[in-house]
Structure 1
Amino acid sequence: MSWNDEEEFLRAHLVGVVLNLKSSPERYKNFMCRACQLPFGITRLEAKDGKNLSEDFKDLLVDERVYGRHYGGKFPSSGTIGCYLSHRLAWKKMVQHAIPWMLVFEDDVKFCPNLLSRILYELLTRYKDSIDICNFSLRGAGMPLKVGEVLTHHLCVYGRDVYCAGAYLLNLKSAKQLFKYSFPMQFQIDDYYTQTWRWNLVFTGVEPRIACHDDHVLSDIKERGGRQFRKICYSSKLVHTFVYGGLACLSIVLREYLNMRRLIVALKRYAKVRIFSKKNFICDLGKIY
């Protein structure tokens, strides 16, 4: 199949969006210098700026009990909340317009347009029935386990921590589930959208990774206070150490539990896919002979 055919296929089956703050036009301009080379259109979605939200609204938005349990007693910063709400806008758009596949970008991500396009084509033609979310810009080693081949790269599931939502592909089924259960906010975006086992979805990634954040640019989250801050401080240093030390240990245990659940569900899905493929192959041989 020619490259022109691949381009037409991607234009017909895929929509791209980039999350960009109104206060960051230069970042959008720099991103589009690269993104305009993709064979499908990229729509700008105005990201939510967490620093413009009232403290009362933040308290209503976040499930402080669950969030604190997973993040050592911390509460999300304005940047973390804004990032979460911005990705939720992308899922909402996908659900409202019944878009079958969407590629979501953050505006400080770097990638090779040609390589990304070819990998997207391979994914949507060979693996569309066996992937739900596929990330291209992960951080963290993650202990990747190969479940497929994509050009010279590998389609992988992960047994350990991976994070980052800089560039990822998802289908409509995933968007519906993510959007449906997104309130109240219980996790930062990186950890929420990887919990695909909760909805019988599968989270995957491409290795070696083909996109990354521009570390020379200060992220909007860091500019607005980092990922989270401590909301409660105790007058007694001993109590403070005991409470947050205990919560930190609990968060480590819970994180490993989530990693295990995600991996088990993913491996079950791919084991079924391979068994089904072998059965089809045997049936085809039977018809031939």
Structure 2
Amino acid sequence: MQPPIFIINMASSIERWHTTSTRLQAIGLEGTRFEATVGKALSEQEVASWYSSELNLKRHHRNMTPGEIGCYISHMRIWEKMRDEQIPFCIVLEDDLKIEPHLVDVIEQIGKLRNWDLVKLSDNCANPFIDEVKLSDTLTLGNYLKVPNCTHGYAISLDGANKLLKRRPFFRAVDVDIQFHSEVALNITGVKPYPIDEDLSFVSDIATSNNGRHSNRSTFWRNFRHRKDMYFQRKKISADIKSIAPK
């Protein structure tokens, strides 16, 4: 049985939704539209219920834009849905993607994994695996020191969703927060070849609707602290694949 595939999509982007859902249907999968949150449409009180500007100042190198806040809330609302409905695992996709046919095989293999939290389905920086194990003749499971920082596509388990929900109130962008996996004991792996890639022929509707500028209040010490934290984070392997790979 296919797990839920949630596609984060702006309310105004009906054509984008149809394009992405059609690409899934072409390989025998069905997607569920999940309306994106528009950060700049939120009141100050609504933003404060999700995002901590105080923690951001103390623990990140710059402020978050309304777009980054809206993007994070969109992902976190999916994790909340998983918790509330006890969904064992799902696939989360953004809506500006190329989708490869072997996504079907990847989903099948993910269903056989043990004790996993999050599986990266895309990477725009070609980060290498540290350890790896074959899942099939064509698919390889691996872990990272430098976790891919994009959120175009990933699989997440209920355990993974519950761990990430501990982030609220958040203070970094969602892709950066996932890179700091050790803070919530999040096990992250990836499957290559990745079945998801960004479609550069699209301009992101989410980014356009969530426009906003970063503050210029970042300081030398904020940048230094962030780089130091990231340096030590990248000394920690993202998962023990021997405990996750099928027996």
TM-score w.r.t. length of structure 2: 0.87
How far is the alpha carbon of 1:38 from its aligned partner?
Answer: 4.4
- Bigger radius of gyration: 1
Match of 1:178 in 2: 164
Compared CA separation, residues 60 and 17, structure 1 to 2 (3 A): closer
Larger deviation, residues 155-164 vs 190-199 = 190-199
1:188 and 2:168 correspond: no
1:29-44 superposed matches below 5 A: 29-44=18-33
1:130-176 per-residue CA deviation (whole Å, 9 max, x = no partner) reads 42210111233433223211332321111125211111111111112
Match of 2:102 among 115, 124, 138: 115
Q: Distance in 1 between matches of 2:15 and 2:188?
A: 32
**Match of residue 93 from structure 1:** 81
> Which residue number corresponds to residue 199 of structure 2?
214
1:88 and 1:182 in contact (8 A); partners too: no
Letter matched to residue 121 of structure 1: E
AA in 1 matched with 2:84: Q
The structure-2 alpha-carbon separation of the partners of 1:254 and 1:198, relative to structure 1 and needing over 3 Å to count, comes to closer
For residues 234-273 of structure 1, the aligned pairs below 5 Å read 244-261=219-236, 263=237, 266=239, 269-270=240-241
Q: State the AA in 1 paired with 2:128.
A: M
Structure 2 unaligned residues grouped into runs of 5+: none
- The DSSP-based 3-state class of the residue aligned with 2:214 is strand
Alignment partner of 2:114 out of 126, 129, 132: 129
TM-score, normalised by the number of residues in structure 1? 0.76
Give yes or no for contact 1:106–1:165 (8 Å, CA) kept in 2. Answer: yes
Equivalent residues of 1:22, 1:46 under 8 A apart? yes
- Seen in structure 2, the aligned counterparts of structure 1 residues 42 and 53 have a Cα distance that, compared at 3 Å, is same
Instruction: Name the Cα RMSD after superposition.
Output: 2.5
Structure with more relative contact order (C-alpha pairs < 8 Å, separation 6 or more): 2
Identity %: 23
SS of match in other structure, 1:75: coil
Tell me the CA shift for residue 91 of structure 1.
Answer: 0.8
What is the rounded CA distance, in whole Å, between the counterparts of 1:61 and 1:199 in structure 2?
17
* Cα distance, 1:161–1:175 mapped onto 2, change above 3 Å: closer
Contact 2:127/2:148, CA 8 A, preserved across alignment:
yes
1:66 to 33, 37, 55: 55
User: Number of aligned pairs?
Assistant: 245
Q: 1:166 to 1:252 in 2, by over 3 A?
A: same
Structure 1 residues 47-62: aligned runs within 5 Å? 47-59=36-48, 61-62=50-51
CA distance in structure 2 between the aligned counterparts of 1:164 and 1:100, rounded to whole angstroms: 23
CA contact (8 A) 1:15 1:40 kept: no
Greater share of residues in helix: 1
Cα deviation for residue 254 of structure 1 reads: 0.9
Runs of 4+ in 1 over 4 A off after TM superposition: 271-274
What's 1:24 paired with?
Answer: 13
CA gap 1:143/1:99 in 2 versus in 1, 3 angstroms: same
Q: Could you list the runs of 5+ residues in structure 1 that have no partner in the other structure? A: 1-9, 233-242, 278-289
Displacement, 1:222?
A: 3.6
Alignment of 1:217-228 (within 5 A): 217-223=202-208, 224-225=210-211
3-state SS, counterpart of residue 6 of structure 2: strand
Please state how far the C-alpha of 1:66 moved relative to its aligned partner: 3.0
Distance (Å, rounded) in 2 between the aligned partners of 1:130 and 1:61: 28
Q: Would the alpha carbon gap of residues 102 and 245 (structure 1) be closer, same or farther in structure 2, given more than 3 Å must change?
A: same
**1:158 correspondence with 2:141:** no
Cα shift readout 1:254-286 (whole Å, capped 9, x = no counterpart)? 11222223x1x62xx335568x96xxxxxxxxx
